[in-house]
Structure 1
Amino acid sequence: MSPFPEHGRTNDQRSAEDLAAQAGRMLTNLRVSKMDPEELGPLAEAEARAVMVDRLAVARPGDVVFGEWCPDDRARLDADRVWFVDPLDGVRSYVTEGRPDWAAQVALWEKGPDGVSGITACAIAMPAYGRVLTGRGATTYQPISIIRGPRPGPLVPPREDDRLRIAVSEAGPPEFAEELAQQLDASLVRLGSGGGKTATVLEDECDVYIHTSGHHQWDSAATVGVVQQRGLHASALDGSELRYNTEAIEFPDLLVCKPELADTIISAVAQYL
C-alpha cells in the first residue's frame, strides 16, 4: 500500500510547493547580489532555511521540522508528521555564476493511521526551469518577468543520440562510473546537486541518476517522494527500499531511474557493491 494520497493535491502538498517556490524565488533574487561566494553560500542557506522553517512554524505549528541544522533532534522519531527540509541543495553550484544545477527541496513524512508511513507531500524547486517539480507534474511558479539575472535554461545539453544518460556527482562520482558507462554503452553527465540530477531524470534529460557518496534523509526525501509519485524508480543501489524518519539519518547510496531500467541498473551495479 502506498502512503501517497490518491486524489488531487492536499493542503500539505500545496504547502510543500509554496515553501519550495518561496525559497527558490528568494534564492534566485539573492544570487545576483554579487556577494563574495564564501559569504553568499552560508547566507543563502540561512535565509532559505528561515523562509521554510518560519512559515512552517506558523502554518503547521504542531509538526516537527528536520534538516542538517538539527541532525541530532530525536523528537521526530515519536512524531506523526515530520517535514524534511533541504533549503539549498547544491551550494557549490549556487555560488558559481551561471550554474543552473541547484535546488530547494521539502517533503512531509507522515505516520498513517493504518500503519503505512511515508512521504505524503513533496516538492523540488528548480529555478533553472522556473518550476517546482512535484509528483503530479511541474507547477510554474516563477514567470520570467520576475527572475532577476540571466535565465540558465536546461541543466544539460540536448541529446545527440539514443545512448543511456547517467547523471552522477561532479564532486564525488561512483568509482565504477566509467566502467559502468562502458558496460551499458551509456554517457555520463556530471552535475552538482542531488535535486538537479533528479530533475534531469524527471525532465527526460537523463535516464538514470546514481549516487554513492552518502546522503542524509533531508537530502533525498523530496527526491524519493517526487520520483515515486511520478511512477519512476527510487531505491538504494541494491534495490532495497529507502525508509524515512528512521533512527539512522544517512543512507549510503541512491538510484533514480526510469522503471524499465531499474532491474538492468541494479544487476549491473551489484558487482561493485
Structure 2
Amino acid sequence: MTDAQLAAHLAQAAGRILLEVRVSGMFSPKALGKAGDQTANQFLVAALREQRPDDGLLSEEMQCDGTRLQKSRVWIVDPVDGTREYSEERQDWAVHVGLAIDGVPVIGAVALPGMDLDGQGGGMVLRTDQPIAVPPGADRPRMVVSRTRPAPEAIAIAARLGAELVPMGSAGAKAMAIVLGQADIYLHSGGQYEWDSMAPVAVALAHGLHASRIDGSPLVYNQAEVYLPDLLICRKADAALLLDLIAQVQAEAKAETN
C-alpha cells in the first residue's frame, strides 16, 4: 500500500468509526466530542505505528515526545478536525491524515464523513493521489470563515472584494470547500496548529491550488513549535491579488495602532 493509499484508507476508516460512535447513543453531546477524539486517535496512532513504524508521528490528541524532530518522514493527523461540529451532528467536520517529508506537505487525505453531496450518504475522501477537477470560481467570490470567530483580515478582505462570507466549521471542511468549488477563498489568521492544516494543504496543492502563509511564504511542517497560525488557500490566479490586499490591510491596521 502506498503512502497516499494508506492516508486515504485510514482517514476513511477513522471517519466510519466516528460515525459509529456518534450514532451509538452512548454519549451525551458534551461527552461525544471527547469520545470521538480519543477513539479515532487510538485507531490512527496504532495503525500508523503498525504500518509505518520507522516514521515520525504528530497527532493533536497525543503527547509529543520530540522523536519526530529527528525524522524526515512524519505523519501529522487530526483525528477529529471540528470536534464541536462533530458533537453537534453537523456535516462540516473532517479527519486529517497527512505525511510531511522534510517539512513539505507531500501526502494528504481529508475525509468528510458527514458530507452527503449525492444523497447517498457515506461521506467522501479527498486525496493527493486522486485529484479531481476544481470547478471554476464564482462571479462574486465566496470566502469561507469561522462560524464563531472570523479573522479580522478575512472580514476586511471580503469587504474590499465584495465577497460573500460562508461560515463553516473545521479547517479541513473549509479547505475542501475550495477544492469542491463550494467557495473560492480560505483566509485564516486566527491561530492554528500543524495538524489543522497539513493534510488539507497537501490536498489543495495536489489539486493545483495556491496554499501559503498569509505573507506568501511556504507552510513548513514538523517544527519544534507546532503553532502555525495562518494560511491562504485559493486559486493560483487569485493569489497575487489576495496577498497584496492582505499586506495592505495589515499595514493599515499597524498604522492605526501607532
Task: Give TM class, smaller chain.
Answer: 0.7 to 0.9
CA apart distance, 1:162: 2.5
Tell me which residue corresponds to 1:153: none
Q: Does 1:94 align with 2:57?
A: no
Superposed CA offset, 1:163-213 (max 9, x none): 100001112211243332221011000111000101110100000001111
Q: Does 1:203 align with 2:196?
A: no
- Distance, in Å, in 2 between the alignment partners of 1:62 and 1:11 is 15
Percent identity of paired positions between Structure 1 and Structure 2:
39
- Tell me the matched-pair count: 238
**Whose helix proportion is higher, 1 or 2?**
2
Superposed CA offset, 1:138-177 (max 9, x none): 69xxxxxxxxxxxxxxxxxxxxx72100001112211243
- Distance, in Å, in 2 between the alignment partners of 1:246 and 1:60 is 20
Helix, strand or coil for the counterpart of 2:104?
strand
Q: Does 1:29 align with 2:25?
A: no
- Distance, in Å, in 2 between the alignment partners of 1:244 and 1:131 is 25
Tell me which residue corresponds to 1:149: none
Tell me which residue corresponds to 2:197: 220
Helix, strand or coil for the counterpart of 2:152?
coil
Give the gaps of 5 or more residues in structure 2.
Answer: 117-122, 133-137, 251-258
2:12 maps to a residue whose letter is A
Q: Does 1:67 align with 2:59?
A: yes
Question: Judging changes above 3 Å, is the alpha-carbon distance between structure 1 residues 178 and 58 closer, same or farther for their aligned structure 2 residues?
Answer: closer
Give the gaps of 5 or more residues in structure 1.
Answer: 1-9, 112-116, 140-160
- Distance, in Å, in 2 between the alignment partners of 1:169 and 1:135 is 25
CA apart distance, 1:248: 2.1
CA apart distance, 1:224: 1.2
Tell me which residue corresponds to 1:134: 127
- Distance, in Å, in 1 between the alignment partners of 2:110 and 2:206 is 13
CA contact (8 A) 2:215 2:247 kept: yes
CA apart distance, 1:100: 0.6
CA apart distance, 1:72: 4.3
CA apart distance, 1:71: 5.4
CA apart distance, 1:218: 1.4
CA contact (8 A) 2:61 2:79 kept: no
Question: Judging changes above 3 Å, is the alpha-carbon distance between structure 1 residues 33 and 49 closer, same or farther for their aligned structure 2 residues?
Answer: same
Q: Does 1:13 align with 2:4?
A: yes
Indicate the RMSD between aligned Cα atoms, in angstroms. Answer: 1.9
Helix, strand or coil for the counterpart of 1:197?
helix
